[in-house]
């Protein structure tokens, strides 16, 4: 089997500042997944009970914290239990953010904390439409939450207690992926961005960048031949593994697994070490026009 060209492994066994890996902005920005097979998120003995889908409210597939207030969403249970669950997720938010700033010192003062999510529901059991089906390869893009070029850096950790890996597929480089569909993607309808925002369908204006990213997301998921035959590798992240990638750039699919924590970190394109590697700049180069508005 070929060596996986996307995943790079590192030996770190601590979240703290004295761990060995730092200054790897170029690796993550060029579309790699940084994997840390010896970097577990330690649960307290009394937190192990949270590794159970019964803590979700049944509507949301995840439990999440919304920052800056850090309010708990998608969870159900007694107040004391939910307080303890929240403290566990807050600890993950703090450790993973500090870790990202060690890995990527260039981002200091620029990284913003996005949602933190805890995913105790089995990937296999998450019933959904084709558009929400994350077992299909995709780049992250959201219908209601336009990023306007802001990057999505994510820190994942498998906390499964019974040995089960989080199984992903990773796919082709972003530029190759964009070239695959760009010719078929039209411009948004004139006035549509203002209309979607005015109706509250989007949280802010869906720029042409967001339009193209959502089209890439949807076309990839709807394309059975792409899913079957495009260049791809299976990756298994064992329990105790942490991994980091730009999920708006790395083609990924979650094929199986249960019990994961994920921290989203946001950063503007201009604050990257190499802004030209971003999806925004890549698409602008391929289309030869600005996409910000």
Residues that bind Fe ion (CB under 5 A): 140
**Could you tell me the smallest distance in angstroms from the CB atom of residue 276 to Fe ion?**
24
Please give the distance of CA 166 from its chain centroid, rounded to a whole number.
14
- When the beta carbons of 135 and 208 are compared against ligand SIN, the nearer one is 135
Q: Which of 134, 175, 223, 268 binds ligand SIN (CB under 6 A)?
A: 134
Helix axes 208-222, 174-182, angle to 10 degrees: 90
- When the beta carbons of 50 and 237 are compared against ligand SIN, the nearer one is 237
**Could you tell me the smallest distance in angstroms from the CB atom of residue 220 to ligand SIN?**
12
Q: Which residues pair with 166 in a beta bridge?
A: 237
List strands edge to edge, sheet with 242-246: 7-9, 33-36, 242-246, 151-158, 260-267, 112-119, 63-66, 71-73
Q: By CB under 6 A, tell whether 177 contacts ligand SIN.
A: no
Interior/surface letters 145-163, b for 16+ CB within 10 angstroms, e for the rest: ebbbbbbbbbbbbbbbeee
Site pattern 91..130 for ligand SIN (x: CB under 6 A): ----------------------------x-----------
Candidates 34, 98, 83, 22; CA nearest to 249 is 34
Which of ligand SIN, Fe ion, none binds 166 (CB below 5-8 Å, type-dependent)? ligand SIN
**Could you tell me the smallest distance in angstroms from the CB atom of residue 125 to Fe ion?**
17
Which of ligand SIN, Fe ion, none binds 254 (CB below 5-8 Å, type-dependent)? ligand SIN
Q: By CB under 6 A, tell whether 169 contacts ligand SIN.
A: no
Residues 6+ apart with CB under 8 A from 263: 92, 93, 96, 97, 100, 113, 114, 116, 154, 155
Interface contacts to ligand SIN, rule CB under 6 A:
119, 134, 140, 166, 247, 252, 254, 260
């Amino acid at each position: 089997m070929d060596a996986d060209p996307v995943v790079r492994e590192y030996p770190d066994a601590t979240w703290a500042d004295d761990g060995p890996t730092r200054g790897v902005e170029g690796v993550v920005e060029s579309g790699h997944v940084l994997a840390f097979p010896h970097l577990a998120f330690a649960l307290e003995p009394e937190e192990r009970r949270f590794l159970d889908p019964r803590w979700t409210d049944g509507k949301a597939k995840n439990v999440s914290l919304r920052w800056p207030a850090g309010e708990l969403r998608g969870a159900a249970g007694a107040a004391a239990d939910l307080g303890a669950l929240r403290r566990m997720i807050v600890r993950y938010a703090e450790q993973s953010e500090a870790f990202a700033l060690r890995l990527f010192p260039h981002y200091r003062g620029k990284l913003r904390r996005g949602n933190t999510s805890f995913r105790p529901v089995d990937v296999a059991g998450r019933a959904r439409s084709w558009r929400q089906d994350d077992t299909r390869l995709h780049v992250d893009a959201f219908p209601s939450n336009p990023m306007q070029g802001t990057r999505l850096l994510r820190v994942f950790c498998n906390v499964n207690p019974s040995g089960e890996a989080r199984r992903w597929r990773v796919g082709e480089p972003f530029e190759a992926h964009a070239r695959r569909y760009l010719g078929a993607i039209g411009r948004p309808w004139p006035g549509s961005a203002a209309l979607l925002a005015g109706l509250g369908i989007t949280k802010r204006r869906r720029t042409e960048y967001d339009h193209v990213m959502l089209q890439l997301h949807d076309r990839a998921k709807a394309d059975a031949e792409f899913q079957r035959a495009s260049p791809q590798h299976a990756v298994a992240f064992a329990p105790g593994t942490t991994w980091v990638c730009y999920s708006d750039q790395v083609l990924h699919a979650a094929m199986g697994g249960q019990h994961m924590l994920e921290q989203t970190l946001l950063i503007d394109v201009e604050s990257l070490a190499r802004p030209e590697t971003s999806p925004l700049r890549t698409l602008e180069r391929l289309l030869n026009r600005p996409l910000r508005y």
